[in-house]
Structure 1
């Protein structure tokens, strides 16, 4: 019944990464050997000091849960084991009955903000349940029925699984059912585990003045319902081709998603803000062992482990770092840090302030192989190919930027800037109401800057700027993103030099200035020479 490699046992190294909710005493090598009876590996030592995180959803949580589940066993006729959060049901002959969801895999708890995390489950997976009850003693049944009654047999008749009211799996009576499901639903749903319990009754002798007829059996239906989100990838893709042949690719999905691989071997990849850790479901730390006379808390023999996704301080990343794709933009809704919603013992690199959920990521890369590019979700195994998503190609053209000095004098100059489409020679107007906004982002118009100062073009794609400081003037065109405009353009830069000495009037102005400033010095020099001659003493 175990799927997706869940039957494979975990190595000691893998086991060391599982329990992020455990305290981290940071054991020395000798302390570890004393406590565990074996010499630790490097990762085992590290796991006692901090929590291990993953760059993608690991399979270890599901494998541990599948291997640990068989150790969970029900009680006997007079004993029921009950999880702390179970909804128990009582009847004439049945007590402490419950049906509890032990684990759902593949799934991921996503910590979006400080609220409780949302559990996202795969459209196809495995649910493990735990059903238990006890049969009341004959005296108790007799008192309840006003007749002498005893239980002759008891059983779990059937276990069923529903998703939003639709029956997706069932199992013959079993206290630890493993139910494999598949659903076409998506988004928020109610997942319900339900079980029928039956106790056969026998009336031996009727009491005098008995008024209650005894049914042949006592039956109850027990259930647990959990609200989850069925996780699917319905992504949208926007693509463009740069003039040098490189590819621009933007992918958007309205839910948290992991990232995408660009090559078949997975070497070129991009991931968003999410990283992962694994932790036990603390709701299964203990069980209540219930009998007719006592209720005792005991350690649970089995604990499910889940994957948790959190926004990391590392942020979105592209690999390989040097030669891989370049991330152009990341967009999504802003959210507060979810640090307060993590377990007290979890120590991971979660963002410590507000962050942007990476619902959309745009990259620039050498090429895109449609057959190899795969989009991955935050739930292990949920993925889709680029060829299977909605795609749109956005044209990207080169721009022509020219700047000339059209008028100048000794104090100022006029710069004429023209911005046009290199292919059609049409003017590029920066303020264009028809520009498209990127999915999930804000519209951004292109800008034209002269030495860092923004200017606007008119309807002919022309801007006229007057400058009065000599020097080099650099004009930069920073275009709209190709996600935001159609058509979009490639940026351009041009420079021009202006100085008063480049004009005749400028030279005349310089000469005039030199003459004006030289007159006082000439008068002073002449006066000094005359005075010196007057006081000069001639030789005898």
Structure 2
């Protein structure tokens, strides 16, 4: 495989495959293998490279060929995804086949490999190449969790070199060493130190696993390396003295901490009057979103978005032969899926005609924005954010059995469990009325009354009112009017004072139906108030107008008197 210049991509461009776009990248070197991907899929694969855009003209001049529109876009931006893409696994699986070990006298390893040495075995290592399907979740500045699917494949690289002693004279005798055999006897995958999978030895093991445990654990790749050398000791005149065979076995290992991603979601439903359905999904682990219909036409996405990036530790390998170390370009580069909290946040689709997001919840306090590393240019949040462990929506008429919860690891969906209090939440219509009460020239009181439209029972919002016989328990929620939030008392009544004339709309904001065994839908009421609607108001208006007009009346009277005094007719009529 020719040397590769990895392409970086990341962003906010919406594509048919659920791709979005933001950032920049280096163009791919001509001749780079597709590794099971189309040209456009390969273009969207990389993040973490320098964001240095090359024009189409310069690209044709340098490489003698043109790029597709997606390749050109990927050269100037980082590509992100709305769901975990399969491209990372496809690339890694096929590129892994290009990984080649050295010979008996040469060891090839990535720069971050951990080496072991024995008497005859030197520069030996076992290094994890990739675990897939998996997703690295960046939740906070110093918090990254590597989630792996319960069923997946761990790929690794094992290599070593054999140190064959040279001819060694000792007195009148000489010992000559020859290598008879060297091999990787076996490779193993351990879970928390216990063997999980064992296979025949190979330099490039691909170990399929099935994990029946949950939560954090340590996966370890182990390999047993064995060499056999023959030592011939000769006396004077090459007389053979004796022959011995020396065997050495060395175990090498590499471990990584993972979290097995096997989510369970709790789903609540509510039936709105009129036919709409309320759906709330709770999941303690990060999750991608959920669909409400079989065809996916109604769906909700959480806060997480995804990008793919190479493991930079495999960009270059080092070849060791005992006398020198030679850096070489790697022909195999693993690619991983990464999840990050997006500024777009939870979102319902379709945007206009899709579900309406009502509430979001998180299991901990607001989390700070993570740091994604150098040259990762995506729309990550720039402050505290809600991890959206729970999202409630109001949608059209949907069937409960069509809800599907998608995880942040490709191919892993959450199993749905029924809450202890049951799936269903009944919703009732509420009846909010507003009437004008006592009025003065400067203010009026408005009496808000909130009752159940079905039973007529008062809806109590004031926690201090407490339960009342025949009324029911107090519940969350409030009534908003004129910029104020008020709560009803045990009689379902709240009094508000207004000091500005106008038309006011009061709206009942019920508490989340998820948190109550029975809940209500919102309702509105409109009230109008103006001082002129009262006798005192009219009197105050007339008095105010009188005081306003008094200077004009005085001026008019004075003007008329002055004109009369200065009139010629008046002056001459006064003469004898």
Instruction: Give the TM interval when normalised to the shorter protein.
Output: 0.7 to 0.9
> For 1:109, what is the secondary structure of its paired residue?
strand
1:491 aligns with 2:522: yes
| Aligned counterparts of 2:169 and 2:382: Cα–Cα separation in 1 | 62
RMSD: 3.4
2:142 to 115, 122, 147: 115
Residues 324 and 511 of structure 1: is their aligned pair in 2 closer, same or farther, counting only changes over 3 Å?
closer
Write the mapping of 1:47-58 to structure 2, written as runs, cut at 5 A. 47-58=74-85
Structure 1 segment 334-483 matched on structure 2, within 5 A: 334-338=366-370, 340-342=371-373, 344-384=374-414, 386=416, 392-408=423-439, 412-432=443-463, 445-467=476-498, 469-483=500-514
CA distance in 2, matches of 1:151, 1:492: 88
1:370 and 1:386 in contact (8 A); partners too = no
Shift, 1:33, TM fit: 2.7
Q: CA deviation at 1:101?
A: 0.5
Contact 1:160 1:193 in 2 (8 A): yes
**Alpha carbons of structure 1 residues 507 and 292: separation in structure 2 relative to 1, 3 Å:** closer
Q: In structure 2, what is the Cα distance between the partners aligned to 1:532 and 1:289? A: 117
For structure 2, the residue ranges without an aligned partner over 5 or more in a row are 1-33, 236-242, 467-474
Distance (Å, rounded) in 2 between the aligned partners of 1:365 and 1:419: 25
Separation in structure 1 between the aligned mates of residue 275 and residue 315 of structure 2, nearest angstrom: 57
Of the three residues 327, 331, 353, the one matched with 2:357 is 327
Query: Which deviates further from its counterpart, 22-31 or 185-194?
Result: 22-31
1:94 corresponds to: 121
> 2:219 aligned to 186, 191, 210, which one?
191
Matches within 5 A, 1:507-518: none
- On the 8 A contact 2:264/2:415 being kept in 1, the answer is no
Give the drift of 1:410: 5.4
Cα shift at 1:122: 0.8
What is the CA distance between 1:263 and its match in structure 2?
Answer: 2.5
Unaligned 5+ runs, structure 1: 1-6, 208-212, 436-443
Cα 1:468–1:14 shift into 2, 3 Å? closer
Equivalent residue pairs, number: 517
- TM-score (ref. length: structure 2): 0.80
Return the offset for 1:165. 2.9
Deviation at 1:235, TM superposition (A): 1.5
Structure 1 stretch 499-508 or stretch 45-54: which is displaced more? 499-508
Relative to structure 1, the CA distance from residue 498 to residue 147 in structure 2 (aligned partners, 3 Å threshold; closer, same or farther) is same
Q: 1:238 to 1:353 in 2, by over 3 A?
A: same
User: Is 2:166 the counterpart of 1:166?
Assistant: no
Q: What is the match of residue 275 of structure 1? A: 305
- In the other structure, the counterpart of 1:156 is 184
* Counterpart Cα distance in 2 of 1:117 and 1:71: 29
Alpha-carbon spacing, 1:407–1:347, altered in 2? closer, same or farther (3 Å): closer
- Aligned-pair CA distance for 1:148: 7.0
- Structure 1 range deviating more: 368-377 or 519-528: 519-528
Going from structure 1 to structure 2, the CA distance change for 1:297 and 1:471 (only over 3 Å counts) comes to closer
User: Match of 1:306?
Assistant: 336
Deviation at 1:137, TM superposition (A): 0.5
State the distance in 2 between where 1:151 and 1:142 align.
Answer: 18
Query: Alpha carbons of 1:11 and 1:450: their partners in 2 closer, same or farther (altered >3 Å)?
Result: closer
Q: 1:214 to 1:90 in 2, by over 3 A?
A: farther
1:518 and 1:177, CA in 2 relative to 1: closer, same or farther beyond 3 A? closer
Residue 440 of structure 1 corresponds to which residue in structure 2? none
1:426/1:222 Cα in 2 relative to 1: closer, same or farther (>3 Å)?
Answer: same
Structure 1 pair 38–510 and aligned structure 2 pair: CA distance change class (3 A): closer
With structure 1 as the length reference, what TM-score do the two structures score?
0.85
| Mapped partners of 2:529, 2:93: distance in 1 | 76
The offset of 1:411, in angstroms, is 5.7
- 2:285 equivalent to 1:258: no
CA distance in 2 between counterparts of 1:454 and 1:380 reads 45
2:87 is equivalent to residue 60 of structure 1 = yes
- Counterpart position of 2:270: 240
How far is 1:182 from its partner?
A: 0.8
1:474–1:494: 8 Å Cα contact kept in structure 2?
A: yes
Contact 1:83/1:286 (8 A) holds in 2 = yes
CA contact (8 A) 1:337 1:354 kept: yes
